[in-house]
Amino acid sequence: MEPNKVYSNLQKYRSIAGVDEAGRGPLAGPVVAAAVIIHPEGTIPGVQDSKKLTPVQREELYQIITSRAVSWGVGIVGPRQIERDNILQATLRAMKEAVLLLNPLPDFLLIDGISPIPIDIPQRCVKKGDSLCFTISAASILAKVTRDRLMMKYHGIYPQYNFANHKGYATKEHREAIRRYGCCEIHRRTFNGVKEYISG
């Protein structure tokens, strides 16, 4: 979908929220989703897919986005819920939680990916939306910064895994730490790379 097509036929909606997530792929930690409504004329320079930004840039833009947004919300679903529901359902749950925190609720949702949120609000899924849609890009930054901050806190609790460096993703360093120390409370025990090292 081309950027100009993302917003096609949406003129009748007064309030449009972008929705994205961070943390579907890691072996540890929660999945975090963010939803954000930004005034139609409130474009913020530098906002793009969070993966294309440095940590410092993301932190700076986080402050700007949250200060200028009409409304924003964050949903967090932890490892046990991910294990019970599977990562897709957990992601959609986090997205729904983020949207329900918006006040006022939006008239329409633009969602990164291909899976609609189970909520009674008109919506459009946008593949690679974090690269094509400003509001989804803004949501991606809020989700990524929130999750990274959480993983930094977990680093203080479980320093042997060095979550501060890899944020729970399946790096060589992280996989070696799991082999050496086993899994901790925030590891996703149904994920390959973790379940093999659960004792009992």
- β-strands 31-37, 16-22 pairing: antiparallel
> Does some domain include residue 2?
no
Q: Give me the number of domains the chain comprises.
A: 1
Percent of the chain residues topping a pLDDT of 90: 88
pLDDT at 1: 52
> Does some domain include residue 5?
no
Q: Which residue has the tokens 């809020």?
A: 142
Residue 176 φ/ψ, nearest 5 degrees: -65, -40
Contacts of 4 (CB under 8 A, 6+ apart): none
List the domain range (segments joined by +) for residue 57.
10-195
pLDDT at 171: 97
> Does some domain include residue 91?
yes
Distances (CA, A) of 183 to 33, 125, 180, 198: 24, 35, 9, 7
pLDDT at 198: 83
- CATH number of the domain within which 33 lies: 3.30.420.10
| Highest mean predicted confidence (pLDDT) among 4-8, 40-44, 68-72 | 68-72
> Does some domain include residue 72?
yes
Segment 22-31 shows an average pLDDT of 98
**Mean pLDDT taken over the chain:** 94
Global pTM reads: 0.95
- pLDDT tens digits for range 83-133: 999 999 999 999 999 999 999 999 999 999 999 999 999 999 999 999 999
- β-strands 71-77, 31-37 pairing: antiparallel
94 near 33, Cβ under 8 Å? yes
DSSP state of 50: G
> Does some domain include residue 106?
yes
pLDDT top residue among 40 and 119 = 119
Q: How confident is the model at residue 42 (pLDDT cuts 50, 70, 90)?
A: confident
**CA dist., res. 35 & res. 74, Å (int):** 6
pLDDT beyond 80 at 50: yes
- pLDDT tens digits for range 148-181: 999 999 999 999 999 999 999 999 999 999 999 9
